[in-house]
């Protein structure tokens, strides 16, 4: 590996991480970037991928990248700390604590390890343990260690002492938003939620305030069931800190919980405007909303995203498949119909809409037209052949459907869905032995992914056996 290339890459990472310290939305960055020096190019490449993933809000990908870096560079304690940080964001508390221990063994500065360990414990709600970690003496800590809000608020041995320390700090440095955040957290620890909101609001409203303080204020208001005030605070946050995605996401959660449709529409619009320029950010936002809100709220976000980016077909495709997976087939059809209006030769959209209409036994003429166009574009695709056979079957043209379906099955002889449909077509033609054989083969090849087939086919076979049309099966089930 070219040494100059390694140096240039390390320098680029150092600059990037140095800039990142000033914009992180999830609290102070505990790792001075100048100290992050993996000892080989492969480890450095993995770290770069991890940092890029964090900037894209793709925490799972960041975890994978930093784990790879830790394995590639078995000496760097700072790389292990970045892994701990990513694991904390992923909610993997035990693994994050293990990564901190590994960083300590590798020689990372104790004050850095203690700060990250405390952050992990705070994230898990284990305040007493965090206080114990931060109250331990540290010989090599720089001044910045003692200026950090969680150190001031938690270094004391009990909640009242923490509160007193935070009050002293906020009094001495009343223009320092970190001091007011510390006071808010200390008040939370003593159960004084209303006064914690006041401290967080003070931190957020200072000229040098942070979006994190506004987020903490809104989260606390939510605990107090003061939804309207939480929405107001988050609206202010999104106007002032336009790139702080967590405030937009939390605003959607609060509006959905308050059952306030106008506020939810406004919140969804703001979130969609912030997160649809980049496909990966869009996908990660979907995943976060799925964890924190209802399927209906997610679909509302998906539809707004498509409306805002009408020509971005990758956004639309992702939105349609997500809506379908969440059980809102109507929304998926609408989005795919929009895709077809932009690209009349979009095979997936044509096939999905056509097949879904056929399955619902509606719009059968248009369904056949869509599917035939998709098959013209992908003439060898057995799934699209199956769609055509199904719409022909629905339209009562069973003989034509059988010819098409036999061709599809010949190309995918172990596809349980295709075999199930073949059995239905045979049954419609009163070819009961052939129907029994096709359904039996469908069960034989069905996997866990074919849940619908596993539910549909056994009753069909039992009914056929009871009918007396089948005396013995030519296929062992």
The confidence score (pLDDT) of residue 39 equals: 64
Average of pLDDT values for 158-166? 75
Asked if residue 40 has pLDDT above 90, the reply is no
Range name among 30-39, 201-210, 251-260 with the lowest pLDDT average: 30-39
Asked if residue 383 has pLDDT above 70, the reply is yes
The confidence score (pLDDT) of residue 155 equals: 60
pLDDT band per the 50, 70, 90 thresholds, residue 22: very low
The confidence score (pLDDT) of residue 327 equals: 94
Range name among 220-229, 337-346, 356-365 with the lowest pLDDT average: 220-229
In the chain, pLDDT over 70 holds for what percent of residues? 84
Residues 6+ apart with CB under 8 A from 143: none
pLDDT band per the 50, 70, 90 thresholds, residue 147: low
For residues 267 and 231, give the distance between their C-alpha atoms in angstroms, rounded to a whole number.
Answer: 9
Q: Tens digit of pLDDT for each residue in 123-136?
A: 887 877 877 776 66
pLDDT band per the 50, 70, 90 thresholds, residue 346: very high
Asked if residue 423 has pLDDT above 50, the reply is yes
Asked if residue 467 has pLDDT above 90, the reply is no
HEC secondary structure over the chain = CCHHHHHHHHHHHHHHHHHHCCCCCCCCCCCCHHHCCCCCHHHHHHHHHHHHHHHCCCHHHHHHHHHHHHHHCCCCHHHHHHHHHHHHHHCCHHHHHHHHHHHHHCCCCHHHHHHHHHHHHHHCCCHHHHHHHHHCCCCCCCHHHHHCHHHHHHCCCCHHHHHHHHHHHHHHCCCCHHHHHHHHHHHHHCCCHHHHHHHHHHHHHCCCCCHHHHHHHHHHHHHCCCHHHHHHHHHHHHHHCCCCHHHHHHHHHHHHHCCCHHHHHHHHHHHHHHHCCCHHHHHHHHHHHHHHCCHHHHHHHHHHHHHHCCCCHHHHHHHHHHHHHCCCHHHHHHHHHHHHHHCCCCHHHHHHHHHHHHHHCCCHHHHHHHHHHHHHHCCCCHHHHHHHHHHHHHCCCHHHHHHHHHHHHHHCCCCHHHHHHHHHHHHHCCCHHHHHHHHHHHHHHCCCCCHHHHHHHHHHHHHHHHHCCCCCCCCCC
Asked if residue 363 has pLDDT above 70, the reply is yes
Q: Tens digit of pLDDT for each residue in 230-242?
A: 888 888 888 887 7
Average of pLDDT values for 332-348? 97
The confidence score (pLDDT) of residue 256 equals: 84
Asked if residue 21 has pLDDT above 50, the reply is no
pLDDT band per the 50, 70, 90 thresholds, residue 385: very high
Q: Tens digit of pLDDT for each residue in 288-323?
A: 899 889 999 999 999 999 999 999 999 999 999 999
Asked if residue 462 has pLDDT above 80, the reply is yes
The confidence score (pLDDT) of residue 3 equals: 47
pLDDT band per the 50, 70, 90 thresholds, residue 157: low
pLDDT band per the 50, 70, 90 thresholds, residue 185: confident
Residue with more model confidence, 353 or 216: 353
Mean pLDDT, the chain, whole residue set: 84
Average of pLDDT values for 378-392? 96
The confidence score (pLDDT) of residue 209 equals: 82
Asked if residue 468 has pLDDT above 80, the reply is no
Asked if residue 50 has pLDDT above 50, the reply is yes
Asked if residue 29 has pLDDT above 50, the reply is no
Asked if residue 159 has pLDDT above 70, the reply is yes
pLDDT band per the 50, 70, 90 thresholds, residue 212: confident
Asked if residue 426 has pLDDT above 60, the reply is yes
Strongest mean pLDDT among 33-42, 222-231, 243-252, 355-364:
355-364
pTM: 0.62
The confidence score (pLDDT) of residue 125 equals: 79
């Amino acid at each position: 590996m070219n040494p100059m290339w390694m140096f240039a890459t390390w320098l680029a990472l150092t600059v990037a991480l140095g800039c990142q310290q000033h914009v992180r939305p999830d609290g102070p960055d505990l790792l001075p970037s100048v100290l992050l020096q993996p000892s080989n190019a492969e480890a450095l490449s993995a770290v770069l991928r991890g940092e890029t993933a964090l900037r894209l809000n793709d925490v799972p990908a960041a975890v994978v990248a930093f784990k790879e870096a830790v394995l590639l560079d078995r000496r760097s304690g700072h790389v292990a700390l970045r892994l701990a940080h990513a694991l904390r964001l992923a909610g993997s508390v035990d693994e994050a604590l293990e990564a901190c221990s590994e960083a300590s063994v590798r020689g990372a500065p104790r004050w850095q390890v203690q700060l990250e360990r405390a952050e992990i414990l705070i994230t898990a709600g284990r305040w007493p343990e965090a206080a114990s970690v931060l109250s331990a003496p540290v010989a090599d800590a720089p001044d910045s260690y003692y200026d950090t809000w969680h150190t001031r608020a938690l270094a004391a041995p009990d909640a009242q002492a923490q509160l007193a320390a935070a009050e002293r700090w906020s009094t001495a440095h009343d223009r320092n938003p970190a001091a007011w955040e510390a006071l808010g957290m200390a008040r939370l620890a003593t159960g004084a939620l209303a006064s914690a909101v006041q401290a967080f609001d003070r931190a957020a409203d200072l000229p040098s305030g942070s979006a994190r303080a506004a987020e903490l204020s809104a989260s606390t208001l939510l605990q107090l069931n003061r939804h309207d005030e939480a929405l107001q605070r988050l609206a202010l946050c999104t106007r002032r800190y336009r790139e702080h995605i967590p405030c937009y996401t939390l605003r959607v959660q609060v509006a959905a919980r308050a059952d306030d449709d106008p506020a939810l529409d406004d919140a969804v619009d703001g979130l969609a405007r912030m997160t649809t320029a980049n496909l990966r950010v869009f996908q990660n936002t979907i995943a976060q909303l799925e964890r924190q809100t209802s399927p209906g709220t997610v679909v509302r976000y998906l539809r707004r995203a498509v409306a805002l980016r009408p020509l971005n077909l990758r956004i639309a495709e992702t939105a349609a498949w997500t809506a379908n997976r969440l059980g809102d087939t109507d929304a998926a059809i609408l989005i795919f119909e929009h895709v077809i209006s932009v690209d009349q030769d979009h095979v997936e959209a044509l096939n999905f809409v056509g097949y879904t209409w056929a399955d619902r036994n509606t719009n059968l003429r248009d369904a056949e037209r869509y599917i035939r166009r998709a098959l013209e574009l992908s003439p060898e695709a057995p799934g699209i052949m199956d769609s055509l056979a199904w719409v022909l079957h629905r339209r009562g043209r069973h003989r034509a459907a059988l010819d098409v379906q036999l061709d599809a099955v010949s190309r995918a002889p172990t596809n349980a869905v295709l075999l199930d449909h073949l059995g239905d077509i045979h049954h419609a033609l009163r070819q009961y032995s052939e129907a029994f054989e096709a359904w039996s083969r469908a069960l034989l090849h069905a996997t866990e992914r074919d849940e619908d087939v596993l539910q549909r086919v056994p009753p069909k076979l039992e009914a056929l056996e009871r009918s007396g049309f089948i005396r013995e099966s030519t296929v062992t089930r």
